[in-house]
């Protein structure tokens, strides 16, 4: 922290200079519209939202998932500091369509999700987070619980010339250091963008001073070049790589030695084609993840050495046409494709007798198929139309068809014995949506939507073979014959704004939405008494879980927010989110259902100075999935403070204190400690008090 303070002072002195004003653009750039949300009430997808304030993100993000924690309705699934997944309204993993730049995906290679998509993009590179809160648009792939689109820097929209920034950050709880550098050039026809980031996080301490094994290092870089051959065309090529090293996972049985990924994408846009056909958008991409994990630092290493080397390759693309059959009628048609293949084995060197603990005269080597060389291909076609029924009514109707093909090329003998007729399988899924927006006045909007989102089982749910992949210690077995799960979601909401003139209170923004989902064929793992445990069969629990379809399940909930602006520079905002999910077959909650969360935020903001105090109150969670190994979680309250200043035009400085009262707590979605020398199987606590500092210079 002392070094960081010196750096802050040195940077402030070195860059106290006045910049020249650039001429405005002579023409509008052709930009890729691979985004979902534009901040326009009557043209955005129904029940959509976005968040964008990267310059004021003072607390260093462990990975991109940290960007969601302040968005109403989101929660985080934590296995440590690295493998963090977002959860929205109790939907998670493949139930959420998580992508960046409108379609690019990076699928994880680890069956325990040590490497979700959020670990393969630089957090500082994300300009905004866009969310569609349900299956209300299908232009960007099959959607079950919602769409999360991570939008990186849109270079073509910026002023001509050279730009860039460099920032540094540090935290005292875990001795974390982050750095990020960006350089870009924007010309009349050509632009280029280069990013580089490095993060080094140590083990953090909880509120009681207990050290949580959670350290990691990651290095990332990305290159993007764009070319406009004509005034109505744009071609953009992007490439990024990420390198994770020495990652400790407190809530998983192994640690990551190597987590490498690369993503190559190519985008093309042709605009203003004709009167009837307005735009063509096309995208192709390829991503690859190589993952190596071991138990070298775990207590079980004395009994057995385990190394898993797995990889995942993802290919995809989309072509979309925007038609204008009538002046105000927008019609989107298109096709897309998505393919993920995974391979890899786990090698176990057994050194001791598992029953007696005695050394074996000759260690025995076993090789376990992790993914059994599996692949899933999804080919989809969609149509979606937006038509204003009147000046105040906007109707949106859409449909999607998906052909999902799955296969397994190297099944293990016991998996074949369990499923003797195993082979490739083809599914046909149909999704539909209809919604209405009603702009009662310029400051009052009502939204009503229905969506039928369909999701076929993922690779873990189909093909995992006696691996521990859940929050609990059970072995899980996949089911290649699972039916696709269906979310029939209904939602009603409103957004309003009131302005006050001549008063201390300047304005009030408020809104609410309530939703209800009827689930068909919901996929969940349940104990199957016909299955025998494969590894360490005498160790509890001795039962095995098999992925199955539920007959009856539902979800309901609401989100409410209100923000009062006063004294020109102050604002007070309150947000509430609650979800209730029911597994009617087992008469318990669905797993990973977050409790009621209330967030209160007092902020002060001017052009060159801002401050914020946030109190997050999380209620006790007693609605649990006992069959999933969940336990009741106590409620807690956490206070965070942050302050930022822009002393010069190009320099930003920030400090923050998180959990200032050093509260000891764990979120309900946190995994429990697994295979750790100093911990039993109890939930992982979140960090205690944490002081952060951040400095950024831009040019």
**pLDDT 10s digits, 643-685:** 999 999 899 999 999 999 999 999 999 999 999 988 889 999 9
Residue 443 clears pLDDT 90, i.e. is over it:
yes
pLDDT of residue 57: 55
| Residue 188 is assigned to a structural domain of this protein | yes
Nearest to 465 by CA among 373, 540, 549, 541: 373
Mean pLDDT on 350-372: 89
Percent of the chain with pLDDT strictly greater than 70:
94
Residue 50 has a pLDDT of 82
Q: What is the pLDDT of residues 72-96, one digit of tens each?
A: 999 999 998 898 999 999 999 999 9
- φ and ψ at 10, to 5 degrees? -65, -40
19 domain-assigned: no
What gap in Å lies between CA 491 and CA 486, rounded to an integer? 16
For residue 633, being part of any structural domain is answered with yes
Q: Indicate whether 153 pLDDT > 60.
A: yes
* Greatest mean pLDDT among 118-122, 131-135, 351-355: 131-135
Stretch 14-36: mean pLDDT: 51
- Domain count of the fold of the chain: 1
d(CA 28, CA 577): 40
Domain at 164, CATH number = 2.40.170.20
**What pLDDT is recorded for position 18?**
33
From 663, 655, 636, 637, select the one nearest 209 (Cα to Cα): 663
User: Any idea how long the chain is?
Assistant: 699
Range with the lowest mean pLDDT among 345-354, 425-434, 482-491? Answer: 345-354
Read off the pLDDT band of 1 (50, 70, 90): very low
**Poorest-confidence range of 117-131, 292-306, 555-569?**
117-131
Residue 67: helix, strand or coil by DSSP? helix
User: CA-to-CA distance for 161 and 208, rounded, in angstroms?
Assistant: 51
Q: Please indicate, yes or no, if residue 1 is contained in any of the structural domains.
A: no
Span 246-255, average pLDDT = 95
Does 158 score more than 60 pLDDT? yes
pLDDT in tens, 672-683: 999 998 888 999
What confidence tier does 19 reach under pLDDT thresholds 50, 70, 90?
Answer: very low
Confidence of residue 195 (pLDDT cuts 50, 70, 90): very high
Strand boundaries in 138-276, DSSP class E? 147-152, 161-171, 176-186, 190-201, 204-205, 211-212, 216-227, 233-247, 255-271
pLDDT tier at 607, thresholds 50, 70, 90: confident
Tokens of 275: 């009167």
Give residue-wise pLDDT tens across range 128-137. Answer: 889 999 999 9
Task: Identify the weakest region by mean pLDDT among 351-355, 518-522, 649-653.
Answer: 351-355
Above 50 in pLDDT, residue 7? no
Kindly state the tokens that stand for 273: 């084609």
Token output for 644? 């930022």
Q: Give the Cα separation of 582 and 600 in Å (integer).
A: 28
Range in 153-167, 285-299, 631-645, 663-677 the model is least confident about: 153-167
Classify residue 106 by burial, with Cβ atoms within 10 Å: 0-12, 13-18, 19+.
buried
Structure confidence at residue 28 (pLDDT): 62
Residue from 530, 562, 535 nearest 545 by CA: 530
pLDDT range class, residue 25, cuts 50, 70, 90: very low
Whether 230 is covered by a domain: the verdict is yes
CA atoms within 13 A on the CB side of 439: 15
Question: Would you call 71 helix, strand, or coil by DSSP?
Answer: coil
Within a domain: residue 160? Answer: yes
d(CA 382, CA 335): 6
Query: What is the average pLDDT score of the chain?
Result: 91
Q: Which domain range does residue 377 map to?
A: 47-698
């Amino acid at each position: 922290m002392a070094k960081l303070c010196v750096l802050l002072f040195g940077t402030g002195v070195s860059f106290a200079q006045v910049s020249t004003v650039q001429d405005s653009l002579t023409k509008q750039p052709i930009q890729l519209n691979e985004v979902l949300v534009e901040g326009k009430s009557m043209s955005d997808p129904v029940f959509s939202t976005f968040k964008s304030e990267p310059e004021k993100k003072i607390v260093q993000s462990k990975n991109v998932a940290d960007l969601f924690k302040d968005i109403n309705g989101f929660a985080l699934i934590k296995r440590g500091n690295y493998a963090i997944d977002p959860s929205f309204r109790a939907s998670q993993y493949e139930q959420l369509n998580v992508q960046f730049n409108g379609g690019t995906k990076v699928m994880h290679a680890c069956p325990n999700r040590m490497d979700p998509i959020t670990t393969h993009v630089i957090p500082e590179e994300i300009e905004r987070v866009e969310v569609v809160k349900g299956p209300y648009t299908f232009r960007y792939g099959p959607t079950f619980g919602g769409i999360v689109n991570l939008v990186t820097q849109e270079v073509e929209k910026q002023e001509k010339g050279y730009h860039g920034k460099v920032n540094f950050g540090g935290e005292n709880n875990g001795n974390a250091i982050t750095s990020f550098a960006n350089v870009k050039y924007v010309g009349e026809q050509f632009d280029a963008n280069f990013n580089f980031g490095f993060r080094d996080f140590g083990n953090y301490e909880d509120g009681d001073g207990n050290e949580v094994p959670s350290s990691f290092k990651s290095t990332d870089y990305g290159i993007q070049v764009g070319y406009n051959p004509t005034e109505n065309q744009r071609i953009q090529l992007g490439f990024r790589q990420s390198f994770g090293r020495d990652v400790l996972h407190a809530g998983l049985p192994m640690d990551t030695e190597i987590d490498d990924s690369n993503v190559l994408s190519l985008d093309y846009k042709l605009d203003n084609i004709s009167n009837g056909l307005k735009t063509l958008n096309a995208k192709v991409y390829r991503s690859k993840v190589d993952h190596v994990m071991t138990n070298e630092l775990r207590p079980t290493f004395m009994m057995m050495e385990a190394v898993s080397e797995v990889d995942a390759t993802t290919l995809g693309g989309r072509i979309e046409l925007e038609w204008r059959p009538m002046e105000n009628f927008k019609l989107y048609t298109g096709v897309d494709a998505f393919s993920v293949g995974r391979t890899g084995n786990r090698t176990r060197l057994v050194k001791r007798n598992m029953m007696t603990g005695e050394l074996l005269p000759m260690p025995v080597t076993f090789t376990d198929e992790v993914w059994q060389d599996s692949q899933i291909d999804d080919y989809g076609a969609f149509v979606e139309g937006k038509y204003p029924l009147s000046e105040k009514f906007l109707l949106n109707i859409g449909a999607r068809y998906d052909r999902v093909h799955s296969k397994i090329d190297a099944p293990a003998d016991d998996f074949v014995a369990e499923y003797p007729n195993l082979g490739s399988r083809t599914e046909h899924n149909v999704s539909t949506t209809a919604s209405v927006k009603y702009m009662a006045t310029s400051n009052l909007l009502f939204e009503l939507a229905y969506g039928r989102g369909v999701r076929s089982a993922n690779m873990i749910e189909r093909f995992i073979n006696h691996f521990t992949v859940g929050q609990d210690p059970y072995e899980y077995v996949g089911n290649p014959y699972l039916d696709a799960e269906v979310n029939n979601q209904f939602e009603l909401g409103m957004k309003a704004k009131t302005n006050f003139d001549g008063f201390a209170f300047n304005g009030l923004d408020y809104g609410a939405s309530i939703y209800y989902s009827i689930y068909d064929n919901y996929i969940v793992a349940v104990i199957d008494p016909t299955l025998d445990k494969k590894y360490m069969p005498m160790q509890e629990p001795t039962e095995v879980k098999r992925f199955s379809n539920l007959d009856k399940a539902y979800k309901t909930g609401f989100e409410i927010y209100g923000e009062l602006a006063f004294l020109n520079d102050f604002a007070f905002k309150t947000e509430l989110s609650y979800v209730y999910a029911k597994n009617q077959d087992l008469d318990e909650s669905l797993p990973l259902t977050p409790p009621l969360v209330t967030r209160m935020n007092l902020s002060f903001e001017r052009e060159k100075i801002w401050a914020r105090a946030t109190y997050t109150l999380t209620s006790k969670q007693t609605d649990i999935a006992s069959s999933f190994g969940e336990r009741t979680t106590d409620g807690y309250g956490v206070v965070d403070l942050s302050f930022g200043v822009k002393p010069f035009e190009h320099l930003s400085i920030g400090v923050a204190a998180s959990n200032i009262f050093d509260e000891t707590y764990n979120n309900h979605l946190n995994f429990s400690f697994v295979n750790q020398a100093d911990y039993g199987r109890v939930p992982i606590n979140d960090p205690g008090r944490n002081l952060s500092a951040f400095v950024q210079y831009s040019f």
